[in-house]
Amino acid sequence: MKPVILVTRKLPEAVEERLLRDYMPRLNPDDHLYSSDELIESASGADAILPCHTERFTAQVIQRLPVSVRIIANYSVGFDHVDVEAARSRGLVVTNTPDVLSDATAEVTIMLMLGAARRAGEGERMVRTGTWRDWSPSFMVGTQMTGKRLGIVGLGRVGRVTARRARGFDMIIHYHNRRRLPPDLEEGAVFHPTPEDLMPHCDFLALHCISSPETYRMLNADRIALLPDGAIVVNASRGTVVDDDALTAALKSGKIAAAGLDVYNGEPVIHPEYRALQNTFLMPHIGSATKETRDAMGFRALENLDAFFAGREPPDRVA
């Protein structure tokens, strides 16, 4: 008997074909978002759940899951939507999909940097609405990326790819991690032991840290005050690492020249000031949204399921 897998969202065709071949999946063809109650009800008799970051596995939800469920194989690199301690207490295995998102997310980070720095959102709206009038030396003047200092909070897999791409713009890389990386991974980047040490060296600041109690609202008013005037902030990690009130206040005052954001607190319902401000370049959480990456994420989740049901340790186990 093949294991029964509850699949909470519509996955790429190639991934669903593999699921249909090797498992007994309960698919979501209309891609609707499960409520907690529907999630629990739909998991009845399932051996595993293959969710995305859109489903929240709180301690209460985990306690209510059917006893048949033995593994949560996330279709995401982040797993902050799962209470991993509650999962461990219940004996649930939890996995994620690292590595496969790095290139795509780094590409979006560079896009956010360029879009924010060169006022791409404003310019695109002018062209679409017919409000572009003429050219002048003072028209749509932005910030040049080339040769500037890029500070990265979290020089992990995605952060290191972002740094390599940014070096193509002759950017000088500074970073903060919980611990310093070995020289072969630093690739010449300058280490700063605290976020406070890093901030004064950031003409551009890219956030690539995980969501955790330690990083909650990591970018707050005190740290923004340490950035150079006119710095540009981009975030393609998780919305929770930013204090929205502090960032929007800095964007209004001009302390921060612009922000490029792909993730938000409470998405898709975001802080209304971001939409109202002209100096924001906003994307709808598309960091991993390439065909190649979305397929790879699904196959990585399936590799974890394959290993688990074969009696092996899943390669990407986080709980």
Active site residues: 238, 267, 285
On the CB side of 162, how many CA atoms lie within 13 Å of its CA?
A: 34
CA distance 169 to 171: 5
